[in-house]
Structure 1
Amino acid sequence: MPADLAVIGLGHLGLPLAQAATAASIPTVGYDTDARIVAELRAGRLPPEGADGFTAGLIRRMVSAGFRATTEDAELGRVRTAVICAPTRLGEDRALDLGAVVAAARALAARLRPHTTVILESAVYPGTTEDLLRPLLESGSGLRAGQDFHLAYSPSRLDPGNRHHGLANTPKVIGGLTPACTEAAAAFYGRICEKVVRARGPREAEAVKVLETNYRHVNIALANEMAVFCHDIGVDLWDVLRCAETKPFGFQAFRPGPGVGGHGVPIDPNYLSYKGRSLGYPLRMVELAQEVNGRMPRYVIQRCATLLNEHGKSARGARILLLGVSYKADIGDQEGSPAREIASRLIEMGALLSYHDPYAAQWRVMGQPVPRADCLYEAAAAADLTVLLQHHRTYDLQGLAVKAQLLLDTRGASPTGAAHRL
């Protein structure tokens, strides 16, 4: 049966979309240039870098329901809707790397047919859909966006591990090149989402992603600065947060931590790499947030060294157990997790590291495997310092606090007085 939808890019964005579409009885083909990912999906197995919350059983159900994964771009010319879910990450120059979006656009353009609806979901700068994607599609296909085919942008709002909000019950923002483009995209998403929100255009929809992502980073940065400030003056930040979040208006609680990870990187439109120019000024708040959050791994190291020193031990030669190496609780995704930087710095200081994470059977830092603790409580009892970096539900912090010689809780998840908290 010919596919109705092509999902381009089968990573953390594309795979959940393909699953939701397949579950909604939309014939779906998934396109990816990585033959290894496609081979695993075809075999009913979860790729090593698959989306969180997915299991091999779920992949097999998708395949049995008609989902097909392919590396053949010819498949892209047989669908009515194509959604680009290519990954975009910050490069060393802090500019988003749009190379995967460009590659996806070129592959699609060569096969694009009239009346197809093309939607971009990747995190991009405002203007990317019109100024980068549109020319690539038009020049490669000979078709005109808004006349011969529909073009729109819809920011992804996936929250890995969220048990209450998924793709279906999270409102979907859509901004089309023309009103007809917006309605074509809305007709597609209306088949898998409960609510569709229409933006004025693609630039507004793209800016929604910038605002939502930066909102998270800026507010976490404020919480992180408060954590350092409160520790220095002897104030229990976690009690402050408990009280502050009772305010029924004008306040939303964000919690500090050892750093900020995840795929939603802070976006500063000052770095418009695809145009080779900048606005001439940065989003100062975003820069400051990045600076504050980027300091947190070093602050955690400082707290570790201080705690060890207060108990007559040095970081050099100390046995340190790290708990939770993913960027978010109850998932295995390590994208941007501060655990790796913290581990690297501890190793450089001469510490003897081990780790435990129910979602990571293996973990490598600086090219070397880190020993995994098989018996959590025995490992905590043997370690000079245990550091909670991510609070997975399986961790009994009350029990760990009893067993551990020293416990540093960077998430404020332990009972009051049971551990040293960030």
Structure 2
Amino acid sequence: MTHLSPIQSSPSGSIQAELLEKLRSKQALIGIVGLGYVGLPLSLTYAEVGYRVLGLDIDQTKADAINQGSSYIQHIDGERVALAQRQQLLEATTDFSRVAESDALILCVPTPLNQYREPDLSYIRDTMAALLPYLRPGQVLSLESTTYPGTTEEELRPLIEQRGFTVGEDIFLVYSPEREDPGNARFNTANIPKVMGGSTAACGVVGVALYEQAISEVVAVSSTRAAEMTKLLENIHRAVNIGLMNELKPLADRMGIDLYEVIRAAATKPFGFVPYYPGPGLGGHCIPIDPFYLTWKAREFGMHTRFIELAGEINSAMPAYVIEKTMDALNDLGKPLKGSKVLVLGIAYKKNVDDMRESPSVEVMELLRAKGAEVHYSDPFFASFPPMRKHTFALRSVDLTQETLAAFDAVVLATDHDAFDYELIASHSQLLIDTRGRLTPGAQIVRA
């Protein structure tokens, strides 16, 4: 199904008509730039409906893995990659000169924040610098990276025009935000509706043709700015509501009320309420980062986004709250945090995935270490602590047994993977700090 915006045009010009025919007949070569948590599943989605796909990445190990028919992302079945390889529909390379072969280029690169919580567009700019020498008439370029409204028009379009191309006639430029939810068994790249906005009306028509064969529903909006704002709204909505729950969490605790029980009860209302849950902080590439893209852009218009900033402050303070609860619980047992052995369960940012981007669990580990605790972790998705830009722990995952659990002064459940044996954990931990509301509070189980 495709929802078209009021701004729409019919195919015009031989370049656009030829590209539309290639896209609609699946004769187009789809170039996916960036083969991470967004780019790899998108590549497979296109290959699985019959397109030839060329994956481009600066990481040779990713290209090698794909060309060998294996997956490097836990929740993506390697057999999907192997099948696409056997059908000769998927190839990966680090050679960006092959951009010229592609009829479509979809950019799936990171958009982090810098140390001042300002947008870092270096990945987009570096990628465009690598693509520009090889662009040609008859290509569609789609940016999927989450960013502030105006990025496509202010950053990408001028670069394309400086090459002498006319956007909407020679090159077709669109913005379509990724909506991946790693580990979600119900929704995937193919069945999550795709929001898309074109730089011109002609670009919008091509953008629909790019996505409608591979995605079940395309929602076309009037501009790239509207599409960029849509993605930010989705994540701001979640960040603010999670922030509300995290603000209520300490209050409910002091009042002797189980907030998780209250949320579950409120969720029985069939209208007007959507359940959100507190936790040890926000993780992933989207919710802790994306709202600040709009906060930054709002300053250009002389406005302050107070709800967004307040939610950010509350959510960022949650790891410290977990440490406070851990210290208090240890004190009740006559033990100081300094010198205590603490095991953190789960270092991924959400359960059942091998993704550590912006994980609050790692922030909890850093704070524990800074307080003098001896910190260890257990996570079925990470046998050893992987290299990270901001965090370094020379650790291997602890196997959970009766003996290992009993050897720790405190166990902090930070990410509630389903693979954990919760009966074992609850029965043999001297002290268990539950940040996810997974277990029933008791003599040695404390909610945080």
TM-score range, shorter chain: over 0.9
Counterpart among 357, 368, 379 of residue 335 in structure 1:
357
Cα distance 1:304–1:23, how it changes in 2: closer, same or farther (>3 A)?
same
User: Where does residue 260 of structure 1 map in the other structure?
Assistant: 282
Mapped to 1, the partners of 2:157 and 2:46 lie a distance apart of: 25
1:127 aligns with 2:153: no
User: Where does residue 83 of structure 2 map in the other structure?
Assistant: 61
Q: CA deviation at 1:316?
A: 1.5
Alignment of structure 1 residues 52-131 onto 2, 5 Å: 52-66=74-88, 67-131=90-154
Mapped to 2, the partners of 1:371 and 1:311 lie a distance apart of: 28
1:127-177 deviation line (CA, Å, top 9, x unaligned):
11111111112213x211112121111011100000001111111111112
Gaps of 5+ in 2: 1-25
Mapped to 2, the partners of 1:91 and 1:380 lie a distance apart of: 38
Q: CA deviation at 1:271?
A: 2.2
Per the alignment, in what secondary structure is the counterpart of residue 271 of structure 1?
A: helix
1:246-302 deviation line (CA, Å, top 9, x unaligned):
1111111111000100010233324259xxx73333321111111101100000000
Counterpart among 30, 37, 54 of residue 62 in structure 2:
37
Query: TM-score if structure 2 supplies the norm length?
Result: 0.88
User: Where does residue 26 of structure 1 map in the other structure?
Assistant: 51
User: Where does residue 421 of structure 2 map in the other structure?
Assistant: 396
User: Where does residue 360 of structure 1 map in the other structure?
Assistant: 382
User: Where does residue 420 of structure 1 map in the other structure?
Assistant: 446
User: Where does residue 257 of structure 2 map in the other structure?
Assistant: 235
Counterpart among 414, 424, 431 of residue 406 in structure 1:
431
Cα distance 1:416–1:248, how it changes in 2: closer, same or farther (>3 A)?
farther
Counterpart among 148, 155, 158 of residue 177 in structure 2:
155
Contact 1:398 1:414 in 2 (8 A): no
Amino acid at match of 2:221: A
Mapped to 2, the partners of 1:28 and 1:318 lie a distance apart of: 52
Per the alignment, in what secondary structure is the counterpart of residue 173 of structure 1?
A: strand
Q: CA deviation at 1:210?
A: 0.8
Contact 1:397 1:415 in 2 (8 A): no
Q: CA deviation at 1:38?
A: 2.1
Q: CA deviation at 1:46?
A: 3.7
Contact 1:52 1:160 in 2 (8 A): no
Mapped to 2, the partners of 1:408 and 1:290 lie a distance apart of: 24
Amino acid at match of 1:389: A
Mapped to 2, the partners of 1:56 and 1:247 lie a distance apart of: 41
> How many residue pairs end up in the alignment?
415
Mapped to 2, the partners of 1:71 and 1:193 lie a distance apart of: 26
Mapped to 1, the partners of 2:175 and 2:342 lie a distance apart of: 46
Cα distance 1:270–1:372, how it changes in 2: closer, same or farther (>3 A)?
closer
Mapped to 2, the partners of 1:333 and 1:139 lie a distance apart of: 38
Q: CA deviation at 1:416?
A: 5.3
Amino acid at match of 1:377: Q
User: Where does residue 197 of structure 1 map in the other structure?
Assistant: 219
User: Where does residue 226 of structure 1 map in the other structure?
Assistant: 248
Amino acid at match of 1:122: S
RMSD: 2.0
Q: CA deviation at 1:306?
A: 0.3
Mapped to 1, the partners of 2:210 and 2:402 lie a distance apart of: 50
Q: CA deviation at 1:52?
A: 4.6
Per the alignment, in what secondary structure is the counterpart of residue 296 of structure 2?
A: coil
Alignment of structure 1 residues 234-313 onto 2, 5 Å: 234-264=256-286, 265-268=289-292, 269-272=294-297, 278-313=300-335
Counterpart among 373, 382, 394 of residue 351 in structure 1:
373
Gaps of 5+ in 1: none
Amino acid at match of 1:72: D
Mapped to 2, the partners of 1:133 and 1:235 lie a distance apart of: 51
Cα distance 1:92–1:415, how it changes in 2: closer, same or farther (>3 A)?
same
Mapped to 2, the partners of 1:376 and 1:259 lie a distance apart of: 28
Contact 1:153 1:175 in 2 (8 A): yes
User: Where does residue 13 of structure 1 map in the other structure?
Assistant: 38
